[in-house]
Amino acid sequence: MKKTIGLGMLFVASSFALAAYASQVSEAPYQVAEADTMEAETMEAETMETSAASGPHELKGVDAALHIPDVDYRRDWTVLGSYSVLADEPEDGAKELHVVYAEPQYVDAFRKNGVFPDGAVLIKDVFAAKTEFLTTGTASYANELAGRFIMIKDGDNANAGKSPLWGDGWGWAFYEGDERTKSVTVDYKQDCLTCHEPARATDLIFTQGYPVLKR
């Protein structure tokens, strides 16, 4: 997502042997080096400041479903995978770590059918990364939470005509820091879709970075 997305700490590998960060989950992370994926993740990171310009606003009506749920998703949900976004200078390691989560029943459904069912919720934590030289080498790990993206599957586009935060089979929103109800997303087409367009063939989700979804 761009200024939204369409997710606790864990080991994130990069070309610089990014080291583990502590987590209560045990799924192995996964990093993908494809150019389109890295470009989309970089665009997303660069537009977070632009998102702030819109100002946080309470989501109401059909958009209220896009609030960050009041649950411990890092403990109770499944980690789909993670991406590292490299700093402008490669020797500086990663500038962000993105970790994506979904509820176990939706992961099971995807593994059976290859698609997320309506109502499936994906949450992505965007952590500012810290880089140090550790015994494993130059390593980057999650530091402060910069924000969170949420996507909710709406396969029939039932909400697509009701709000500019819904369309292309998903609901989309981004929240800064620890915020859960006041989003800075205004229009998913402007704020999110450009980053996700390279993943059009996989329902706008970068599934190549989510090994738990492989069947």
Q: 58: domain CATH number?
A: 3.50.70.20
**CA atoms within a 13 Å half-sphere pointing along the CA-CB vector of 43:** 18
Which domain, by its residues, includes 84? 35-213
Residue 22 belongs to some domain of the structure = no
- CB burial readout 50-74, b (16+ within 10 A) else e: ebeeeebeebeeebebbbbeeeebb
Residue 16 belongs to some domain of the structure = no
Phi, psi of 57 (to 5 degrees): -140, 145
Residue 15 belongs to some domain of the structure = no
Residue 96 belongs to some domain of the structure = yes
Residue 30 belongs to some domain of the structure = no
Residue 46 belongs to some domain of the structure = yes
Residue 8 belongs to some domain of the structure = no
Question: Is pLDDT at 23 greater than 50 in this prediction?
Answer: no
| Per-residue pLDDT, 90 | 83
Closest CA relative to residue 121, chosen from 161, 68, 174 = 68
Residue keyed to tokens 């738990």: 212
Question: Is pLDDT at 204 greater than 80 in this prediction?
Answer: yes
Q: What is the mean pLDDT of residues 40-58?
A: 58
Q: What is the mean pLDDT of residues 38-58?
A: 57
Least confident of 1-15, 98-112, 113-127, 198-212: 1-15
| Per-residue pLDDT, 215 | 81
| Per-residue pLDDT, 81 | 97
Residue 99 belongs to some domain of the structure = yes
Least confident of 38-47, 50-59, 123-132: 38-47
* Both tokens assigned to 127: 């952590």
Domain count, the chain: 1
